[in-house]
Structure 1
Amino acid sequence: MACSRGAASPDAQTQRRLFAASAGYCQNPGCSNELFVDAAGKSIHIAEMAHVFAANDSGPRAKSDLSKKERGSFENLIMLCANCHTMVDKAPDAFPVKMMLSWKREHANKLQGLFGAVRLGDRASARQVVEPLLAENHAIFKQYGPHIDAARNPESGAAEQWRRKMLTRILPNSRRMLAILDANRHLLGGNERATLEQFRQHIDDLEAFHIEGNREDASRFPGELPKILED
């Protein structure tokens, strides 16, 4: 997912924001490619950060008055699969700036629907949407998490398997939960809102670790989250 564009490359925070906005899918609304693919027990990422306005003055959709910082900003980047990135850069006239920026908006709207991130009328309805995601993440952690015996054997492949599950299931599920809970914040009590913010920071830390390779300790998973929206 790295971008080799020098000073026009996004910083770590922008990379995390792009990943979160994509939710693991190509942001071209006409493409349904997942950006992290399971293949022979390994996680292969085909995510590429494409510039809307070119990273340099000779690139596709160039705009010479943009600074290097502006070229590497979140607003000027879109997360695409390798095929779509190649397509938009090799045929820039067919994919103008206005179209590419509209892709990001359409993708965000589509995800709201896919995630069920709509305002619900009661706590039970919101819990019904969130609970399966919590259950799946818990089951994955229990079976593949770094606490299992195989994780202590560097030759077992358990670490790669855990990373694959993290990228393809746990992080997308978690982003979906955040979207749902944010849309239904009006249903949360004070302590639950604090739990939501702890969960948000936990996911941000996990993305920094598993996507960027940041080796700082991640914040702990909030123990109250599995009970959120329960009456």
Structure 2
Amino acid sequence: MTLRCLPLLCAPQIQGATMADRKYIPQETKLRLFSEAAGHCQHPDCLQPLFPAEMGGDKHIAEMAHVIPHGEKGPRHEERPDGEFEADSFENLLLLCPTCHTKIDKNSPSYNRVTLLMWKSNHLAALAHKQGVHAYEERSQVRNAITAAMAENKAIWKRLAPCEGTDFEYDPESESAKTWSDRMRNVILPNHLRIQRIITANQQHMNEAEHEAFAQYQEHVRGLIERHVCGVSGRAIRYPVQLDGIFA
């Protein structure tokens, strides 16, 4: 019996004596996987969003795939490293859509360990290339590339974000709460991730204060992902207002 699909946002349901040696994958590992995948399949020829718009943006299709399986059987088992090895470690997992997960396991000779780890290592660069993220020659060009997404996020935040005393605060099932959740997953977070990729590709233009503001911004976005995607509340830090002036 093998466990092919591990849901991203909940613990795998392990049943039967043959599964006793498998460990619960920590929530922190799942969060890190999602964060580093930026919400997209890590197969470089796919890169499809793992929260499809046609599913409302609040349901994911992500599957955690093992590079090397548990035990002595399964795809790529012959490439298991010598010595101590943790199959459920972050280093041995990647995030794929169901189709790509099936492909790599059904045709494992074509998808060896080195290939899969290279996908994971180069994922953000591949995603940036697909989305037209560039390294610019001038600070002003970087600023222009991120301004629209920053402005859209700020406009949505001002119009829809909950404030003290609103029905959202007391009724998470209200229409305003549902609208806010939808915009967060389908607009704000994708914008944040794109902004991060553009800034990362152009860090050579940043000064020390901007590096500090960007580090705080990255932590802010991680917290938003944990709260709005993974359901871990109370961990997001405030948006660093210093970022508003980056590359200005």
Q: Which residue of 2 aligns with 1:43?
A: 58
Q: Which residue of 1 aligns with 2:5?
A: none
- The residue type equivalent to 2:185 in the other structure is L
Q: Which residue of 2 aligns with 1:104?
A: 120
Deviation of the 1:131 alpha carbon: 0.7
Deviation of the 1:26 alpha carbon: 0.9
Contact in 2 for aligned 1:115/1:180 (Cα 8 Å)? no
Cα 1:61–1:165 shift into 2, 3 Å: farther
Q: Which residue of 2 aligns with 1:205?
A: 223
- Aligned-partner SS, 1:43: coil
Cα 1:194–1:208 shift into 2, 3 Å: same
CA distance in 2, matches of 1:96, 1:37: 28
Q: Which residue of 2 aligns with 1:151?
A: 168
TM-score normalised to structure 2 length: 0.78
Q: Which residue of 2 aligns with 1:18?
A: 33
Deviation of the 1:36 alpha carbon: 0.5
CA distance in 1, matches of 2:227, 2:172: 19
- Aligned-partner SS, 1:89: helix
Deviation of the 1:8 alpha carbon: 4.6
- Aligned-partner SS, 1:78: strand
Cα 1:82–1:28 shift into 2, 3 Å: same
CA deviations over 1:114-163 (Å, ceiling 9, x no partner): 45554322221110111112112223323432339452444424334333
- Aligned-partner SS, 1:71: coil
Q: Which residue of 2 aligns with 1:92?
A: 108
Q: 1:50-199 to 2 correspondence within 5 Å?
A: 50-62=65-77, 63=80, 65=82, 67=84, 70-147=86-163, 149=166, 151-152=168-169, 153-199=171-217
- Aligned-partner SS, 2:53: strand
* Count of aligned pairs: 229
Contact in 2 for aligned 1:145/1:162 (Cα 8 Å)? yes
CA distance in 2, matches of 1:151, 1:72: 38
- Aligned-partner SS, 1:59: coil
Deviation of the 1:206 alpha carbon: 1.6
TM-score normalised to structure 1 length: 0.83
- Aligned-partner SS, 1:218: coil
**Displaced runs of 4+ in structure 1, greater than 6 A?**
none
CA distance in 2, matches of 1:165, 1:55: 39
Cα 1:143–1:114 shift into 2, 3 Å: farther
- The residue type equivalent to 2:67 in the other structure is V
CA distance in 1, matches of 2:178, 2:60: 13
Deviation of the 1:55 alpha carbon: 3.3
- Aligned-partner SS, 2:52: strand
Relative CO higher for 1 or 2, CA cutoff 8 Å, sep ≥ 6?
A: 1
Q: Which residue of 1 aligns with 2:18?
A: none
103-112 vs 72-81, greater mean Cα deviation: 103-112
CA distance in 1, matches of 2:129, 2:229: 26
Contact in 2 for aligned 1:36/1:46 (Cα 8 Å)? yes
CA distance in 1, matches of 2:72, 2:162: 46
Deviation of the 1:41 alpha carbon: 4.3
- Aligned-partner SS, 2:194: helix
Cα 1:217–1:21 shift into 2, 3 Å: closer
